[in-house]
Every structure is written in C-alpha cells, then in structure tokens.
C-alpha cells in the first residue's frame, strides 16, 4: 500500500492540479484550516479564499494557521454555516470549493456536519462553480455521524446533471471498516452534450 494515499491526499492532488494563481476558492468546512491553507497557497497573492465554519474554535485555528504561514492571499474566515455561502459569492464565479465533512479534529464531536445542511450547501456550491471549476468532497462514516449523511450525499450525487457536471467517486475498495470516500466534481466547460449532436 502506498504510504500517504488517503482521502486528503486525493483531495489535495486534485486541488493542486486545478487551482491556479488568482483563483477564487471556498473552503466550506474550515476546521483546523489545512485545506484553507492549501487553497491560499495555490491561489497566491492575486487570489481570494473564503472559509466557513460554525465553531469559533475552528475559525480561530484557521486564522492562526494562515497568519503563521504568512499567506499573501486575500482570505476571510467566517463564523457562518456553509449553507449561507451563496450570500458571499455570485453564481458561476468560484474556481474551487472544498468540503471535508464530519467533526473538528481534536474538537467537540457533538458538532459535526449534518445531512440536510450538507446537501443544501453542496447544491449551492455546485451553482457557484464557474464552468471549469471544481469541487472536492471528503466523506466519512463515523461513530457520531453514522451512515446517513455520507449515504445521502452519495445518493444525491447520482442525480447531479451529467450534462453540466462530471462526478468521480474514489473508494478504498480493499480497506476494512468503511474507509473515507473522496469525490471530485468538475463543472464542464464544453457546451451541453445534446447540443453537440444537432
């Protein structure tokens, strides 16, 4: 087994491949800020990154991490639910959105992402992506969250319009204990496929 091949590795490789300097990015679940930091490093001094979390502990951690790393990016960390991210960005203007579901590492496990709010935020996020934009989702099965949230998200993703978005799901097929799942979504640039047939 390759050392380091985990869900975060897949998500970060995906972001590194696609996020360019100057990008407008959203971290929908800031947590300890590791994904926000990567987005800032990729977007650079001409980019902009918004990060959301509902826990002050996460907001403080993320701001501290960005300060410690002296990121030059315009970055804003909001104590705010990701279901309101559409108040901060116009439709089809965002280059990359990251979701890392579950609870705050090293934090209070009674606060975690919830099925309905996660579904609402993913839908809003898909609408905010510009053509050519990407979304990364890291999904977990866990003691506190159970199976409902991840199963509902995977079911919803099957219904996303295939003419506008490409959804790729990676699972660790031979790992035990319901391993995490990495989902990579592209908002396609090409004209809707049906028009190509006319």
List contacts with ligand SAM (CB under 6 A).
29, 31-35, 52-55, 58, 81-83, 100, 102-105, 111-113, 117
- Residue 77 or 132 having the CB closest to ligand SAM: 77
Cβ distance to ligand SAM smaller for residue 109 or 188: 109
Question: Which one, 24 or 103, has the nearer CB to ligand SAM?
Answer: 103
* Nearest CB to ligand SAM, comparing residues 83 and 150: 83
Decide: 20 and 45 in contact? Cβ < 8 Å: no
Of 35 and 95, which CB lies nearer to ligand SAM in the complex structure?
A: 35
- Give me the least distance between CB of 161 and ligand SAM, in Å please: 24
Helix 34-43 to helix 7-18 angle (10° resolution) is 20
Identify each DSSP E strand in 60-161 by its residue range. 74-79, 94-100, 129-139
Contacts of 147 (CB under 8 A, 6+ apart): 141, 178
Q: How far is the CB of 16 from ligand SAM (least distance, A)?
A: 15
Task: Give the separation between CA 35 and CA 71, rounded to whole angstroms.
Answer: 13
Q: What burial letters (b/e) apply to 42-63, b meaning 16+ CB within 10 Å?
A: bbeeebbbbbbbbbeebbebbb
Q: How far is the CB of 176 from ligand SAM (least distance, A)?
A: 21
* Shortest separation between residue 139's beta carbon and ligand SAM, angstroms: 10
CB of 122 to ligand SAM, least distance (A): 11
């Amino acid at each position: 087994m390759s050392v380091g091949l985990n869900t975060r590795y897949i998500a970060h490789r995906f972001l590194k491949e696609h996020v360019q300097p100057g990008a407008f990015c959203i971290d929908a679940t800031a947590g300890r800020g590791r994904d926000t930091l990567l987005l800032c490093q990729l977007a650079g001094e001409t980019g902009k990154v918004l990060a959301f979390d509902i826990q002050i502990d996460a907001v403080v951690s993320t701001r501290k991490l960005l300060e410690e790393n002296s990121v030059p990016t315009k970055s804003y960390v909001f104590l705010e639910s990701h279901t309101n991210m559409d108040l901060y960005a116009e439709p089809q203007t965002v280059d990359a959105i990251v979701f890392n579901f579950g609870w705050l590492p090293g934090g209070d496990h009674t606060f975690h992402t919830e099925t309905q709010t996660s579904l609402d935020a993913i839908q809003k996020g898909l609408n905010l992506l510009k053509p050519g934009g990407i979304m990364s989702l890291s999904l977990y099965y866990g003691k506190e969250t159970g199976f409902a949230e991840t199963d509902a998200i995977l079911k919803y993703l099957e219904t996303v319009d295939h003419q506008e978005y490409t959804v790729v799901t990676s699972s660790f097929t031979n790992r035990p204990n319901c391993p995490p799942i990495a989902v990579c979504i592209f908002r396609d640039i090409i004209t809707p496929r049906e028009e190509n047939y006319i």
